[in-house]
Chains A and B, each alone.
Chain A
Amino acid sequence: MNHTDPNTGWGAMTRLLHWLMAALILAQFAGGWIADQLERSPAKADLMTAHKSLGISILMLLLLRAAWRWTHAAPPPLPGALAWEKTLARWSHFLLYVLMAAVPLSGWLAASTSRIPWNFFWLFPWPRIAQPDQDLHHRAEDLHALLIWILAVVLATHILAALRHHFVKKNDVLRRMLKGR
């Protein structure tokens, strides 16, 4: 029998940020992949502006989330959690935080090193973190692509693990990120 101690769930803010960022990240995977298939066109330019704007938004949300995580204790592992599960969870979550920062940062670097400017949600020009440079631009694009693959692998593990906890082990790991308590 599994039950959740009322004091060991995730708070509302944590859950909101988790699912909001999950949705945005999945949208970014889709949007980025589609943009890559398109020929240069006004539609592609618009899609790229949306992609870059969302990427920066994710970076901002990540700052908020990191600050929140730092100041609000995580619930303890559930009873019955095995040592390897706890270790893998700790490392993969840490890796996710690193990737959630590195992926948009590499994208920002790639955008900065292209001569083409862009406006944040079509409103105002977004600043560069580097000067236009063809060579650096290509390397930043390659880095962005590599990091996305790594993120995809870690995310797949994360999602499969959550589903395993829910359907195989039948515990509250997924439930407490969905409902909290």
Chain B
Amino acid sequence: MLHRPATLTGMLLLLASSNVCTAQMESWTSQPADTSLEFIGHYENTELRGEFSDFTVRLVREANALPIALEVHIGVDSADMDDADLNEEIQQEDWFYSSRFPQASYISRTIRTTGTNRFVASGTLSLKGMEKEVEVPFNWSQDSAGAQIIGTLELARGNWNIGSGEWANDETIADRVTVHFSVRLLRSE
């Protein structure tokens, strides 16, 4: 019985060791420059932005062809909203609770094509100990030096209990959070 390996490395090893003739796989890894992962909350109808500085993205695709796997790991306590009060608040138990759940991850093994260099990944977002299925659309653009993936999606923070207790209602801080990423990738293997 073939089971899906949990890690990208495992997946690559499985493919490499299989007897089935497969296309060459490429593994792409995120670079710190030209890379951002930001989230936008809505407080009383105005936007409050923050971004993560500690995260890695790995994408696997068939040689010069379609992406087949996407994996993101995020150090949640790297969230920065450019305000000391807000930064302290979002790490608390009602919000990210990073002391107990320091890492978040998104793992997708199913990526479908929706246009030229446009894809949608289907996978699991693990955050604050909760796992939910999330679709992540992204564009792929490649140049001589590397590639860039860019995408935007909306999440319902309540699905992961982000902003729990008194903050759970939609009034003061909206349930919907916009996530925007632009990631520079270099081929690593």
A interface list, Cβ under 8 A from B: 40-43, 45-46, 49, 114-119, 122, 125, 132, 134
Contact = CB atoms under 8 A, between A and B. Distances in A.
Interface SS of chain B? mixed
Contact of B46 (A49, A122, A125, A134): A125
Interface residues of B, number: 18
Interface of B: 43-46, 48, 81-86, 89, 166-167, 169, 171-173
Contacts of A114: 83, 85
Give the 8 A-B CB pairs with smallest separation, nearest first.
Answer: A115-B83, A42-B172, A117-B46, A41-B166, A42-B166, A40-B89, A45-B172, A119-B44
B173 to A, nearest CB: 8
A117 B84 contact: no
Given A40-B89, A42-B172, A43-B166, A119 B45 contact: yes
Contact of A117 (B44, B81, B172): B44
Contact of B85 (A42, A43, A116, A119): A116
A118 B84 CA distance: 17
Given A116-B86, A132-B82, A42 B171 contact: yes
Given A116-B43, A116-B83, A134-B83, 18 more contacts: A40-B89, A41-B166, A42-B166, A42-B167, A42-B169, A42-B172, A43-B166, A46-B172, A114-B85, A115-B48, A115-B81, A117-B43, A119-B44, A119-B45, A122-B44, A125-B46, A132-B82, A132-B83
A119 B43 CA distance: 10
